[in-house]
Structure 1
């Protein structure tokens, strides 16, 4: 470690695949940060729709209210959704290979997302708690891809940018927790950590997809096939899959905040990747 490891950023993404909200303090539940990935856009068969196929989704912004959420998108009127108006009918959805029941919101929301995306869509939400229990993890997970949380160090992004053709941003990687004061990819060697009131089990390294190459401000593709082009030179396995960031599972509930010290409780032998630039 260079200095004291501490939390430099906390981010939630209320609607899967849309823009995030930076927070100074957050409640960590067993299924992730409060309000994180509590909504998902699906097709009419319940299959998730994401910015991998509909990149303009990243330009949709959320504002949390006491009674619901306001959604904004370029060229659209704001959508104000009050949770008391939700239909709350069970609807089976599919997140990768997981099938579970979520709940319907409103026809107004469905029409709004259909217009923004340009394809028939509906907005579902988790309810008071997710019905998606991942036996492999031993915990509930919201509409996140696989794990409840993701951590990346600022040092890792700095090292990527030292090699990349032009600067990349942390928001491209949709991380929940940003850590400063550690060496690049220090997180690869963590097994169990503590932040504020919460202990976390560190899961697998996060495999990255085409979504990281979508500009979070415009929804356009990043130039020069970044960051995939650079990550593939020093963060790829023998099959060509690239990895950046570590998945987390909370072992208890509690509050974390920016400035909290990150304490490494247990370590592991990190995965080693071939470095084409070495």
Structure 2
């Protein structure tokens, strides 16, 4: 039967490494989906702080409001940040090997994150347009790790769960775009796709890290070293690095909506992984 690929889910993560927001419709810009990874928590030297080291960050939730954002965390009072109140001083930050200028928000935000995380912290934002240009991609990127967007098919998660010791969720993988109606790992063979008004260039397979093993609800490590334990058996390269999902770059701006057809415009030969379970 011919695949009928549909956009099944859209998620954004306004503050890097914190909880996501599901959307039914979204604007995709060249830097990614609007409001996705537009904020980052850093130490006082501008080095990113993430849930890899501070896992409770995944329990911080964002709510978008007319003039800014409301942040909430277990045991803390809600923090309402109005964009017009931001200090907007240039501050050099570091996302992996990329150094670029972001902008300060408020001392109130810095104090809130310091209290919630338990370490001196500050909240920075991209501004109206990110100053981070990635030459490899030919586009600007917000505070995302490397690429503006990530896609995973529902079939891939279903196949992982068929093998795993207990169910894993799509939110563990911090996925922007979920596609249904295709075979597991069909996305590995995509070169260029279109959804709604937007065409996307498919980049590299996404290498996964310890962050996927943190329960997005509790901030605790998942039982039995999942999903790493299972992925390492059938989605690992010869060096042991594991891969799940495909990175994306938008080639134009436009609207995407849950239910949109996902059109595969060009394909590639997918990377083949040794399957220890076969």
Does the 8 A contact of 1:2 with 1:183 survive in 2?
no
Structure 1 residue 51: Cα displacement: 0.1
Secondary structure at the residue paired with 1:28?
Answer: strand
Show the counterpart of 2:32. Answer: 32
Show the counterpart of 1:120. Answer: 120
Show the counterpart of 1:189. Answer: 189
Show the counterpart of 2:225. Answer: 225
Structure 1 residue 66: Cα displacement: 1.1
* Alignment TM-score, normalising by the size of structure 2: 0.99
Show the counterpart of 1:85. Answer: 85
Q: How do residues 48-197 of structure 1 correspond to structure 2 at under 5 angstroms? A: 48-197=48-197
Q: How do residues 198-277 of structure 1 correspond to structure 2 at under 5 angstroms? A: 198-277=198-277
CA distance in 1, matches of 2:8, 2:65: 25
Structure 1 residue 18: Cα displacement: 0.1
Q: How do residues 4-15 of structure 1 correspond to structure 2 at under 5 angstroms? A: 4-15=4-15
Structure 1 residue 3: Cα displacement: 3.5
Does the 8 A contact of 2:3 with 2:183 survive in 1?
no
CA distance in 1, matches of 2:3, 2:31: 31
CA distance in 2, matches of 1:51, 1:222: 14
CA distance in 1, matches of 2:33, 2:127: 15
Secondary structure at the residue paired with 1:64?
Answer: strand
Structure 1 residue 2: Cα displacement: 5.3
Unaligned runs of 5+ in 2: none
Alignment root-mean-square deviation, CA: 0.6
Unaligned runs of 5+ in 1: none
Structure 1 residue 172: Cα displacement: 0.1
CA distance in 2, matches of 1:138, 1:236: 28
Q: Which runs of 4+ in 1 moved over 6 A?
A: none
Structure 1 residue 197: Cα displacement: 0.3
CA distance in 2, matches of 1:110, 1:98: 22
CA distance in 1, matches of 2:66, 2:101: 25
* Alignment TM-score, normalising by the size of structure 1: 0.99
